[in-house]
Amino acid sequence: MVVINNSKPLPTTEDKGCTTLHEPYIDYEPLPVSDSPFLLLKGNRDKVDPGDFIFTFMSVPSGSVFRRRIPALCNKLFIGSHYGWIFVLDQLSEPSIFNPFTGQEIPLPSITTIPNIHISYTNGDSSHMRYVYRKWYTNEFMEYTDENFHGGIQFQKIITSCAPSSASNNFTVAAIFDCPESLAFVRAGEAKWNIVEDETYFDLMFCDDGSLIALEYWRALHIFRFNDEGFWVQKMSICTPEMVYFPHQYLVKDAEGGILLIRRQNNFTEHAKTGEVQVLRLVVNDKSGGKRWQHIKDLDGGAMFLGTNASLLLQAKEVKGAIQPDCIYFSDDWWDQIPDDNDREHQHRDICVYNLRKDTIEPYCPLEIPRYSAWPFPIWFHVSSTLAN
């Protein structure tokens, strides 16, 4: 592991100097909370300029379209959202957390604090221009530049234990990165990522007590608990209904604090397309303590939003407008389908709705997505009245 000179600790709420406040947006207006959640797209459907600073927020409940000029997101990847913040990567995959309401950006520890990433050379002002990356499957080193930063070395999912605006010293960020998908986390005040070695994971979620639950590749659950001295892991083996491989699997906390597992299978023709979805709940036997996944056919009137963003479950009382109850809204998170500049014009994104009661899958894209909006992935963005205040 290489620790670089400009590594900065994850700020605490008292550590204001580590954050960046971007210039006010020229046409910035708050997004109506009543219209949340939104599908966030790069660009403006009415303009064909991919270099423009315009980003589109499409309301799922109302269908309203809000366009905002956000220069701070230009030339960056947004790879997900949580608690009304957006996780972004710059052109060398350096991660940060960005608040589109306030313009505040919180840097996360450098990607070079993760094994296999090394600085190749810098400018005269010590800014980084190139990294070197060691491929996990060949142990070969390759040049890592801003032209190919969206390859297999980036962070694929980032979540937080709480909203950064209300964070205390218990604030934790967890991430899935690299290929195969490894787990890293960092706590407030730490300057480098902590790596969980020799394990691969599908998905992550935080519990209300600050512990982290990770879905291991063979569907065991690993529970990470943190204290001042470090962390310890409880591994929970679970009987599975079958061993069929699903390339996309998501963890969701239900209204009672239980754990749901959503499994998403893809069919391939010209592009990835969702072909099968399974929804399971973790059931614990009161007598034996045995655990198993049980199929369910409804969400008690609620609705889910899944993708690269932190998983979101709206309870029945929060389902409104055009949001369909007992449905799962999927955004595209097929990382292998990453186009280069020549292919983006023809790129398709698998955004769809799965109805649990009817067992049907329908495309979801009220707006025609412009070719330059296919990358970064469109993501779900949600803000509650509490977060807006």
Q: What is the pLDDT of residue 244?
A: 65
Q: How far is CA 145 from CA 22, 90, 275, in A?
A: 25, 11, 35
Kindly state the tokens that stand for 171: 């604030």
Greatest mean pLDDT among 14-18, 44-48, 93-97, 127-131 lies in: 93-97
Looking from the CA of 379 toward its CB, the CA atoms found within 13 Å total: 26
Beta bridge partners of 282: 293
Q: How far is CA 130 from CA 96, 122, 174, 292, in A?
A: 19, 7, 25, 47
Q: How far apart are CA 315 and CA 320, in angstroms?
A: 10
Of 19-28, 308-317, 362-371, the one with minimum mean pLDDT is 19-28
Nearest to 174 by CA among 103, 139, 225: 225
More confident residue, 316 or 336: 316
The pTM score is: 0.85
**Eight-state DSSP code of residue 78:** E
Nearest to 62 by CA among 322, 281, 264: 322
Sequence-ordered list of residues with C-beta below 8 angstroms from that of 176, at least 6 positions apart, any chain: 155, 156, 157, 182, 183, 201, 203, 204
Q: How far is CA 295 from CA 242, 248, 274, in A?
A: 11, 17, 19
Mean pLDDT, the chain, whole residue set: 77
- Percent of the chain scoring above 90 in pLDDT: 29
Residue showing tokens 């706590």: 187
Beta bridge partners of 294: 281
- For 255-301, the pLDDT digits (tens) are 888 899 999 988 776 667 888 999 999 998 777 778 888 999 999 99
CA 138, chain centre distance (Å)? 28
Q: How far apart are CA 177 and CA 184, in angstroms?
A: 7
- For 208-227, the pLDDT digits (tens) are 888 999 998 877 899 999 88
Determine how β-strand 303-306 pairs with β-strand 327-330.
parallel
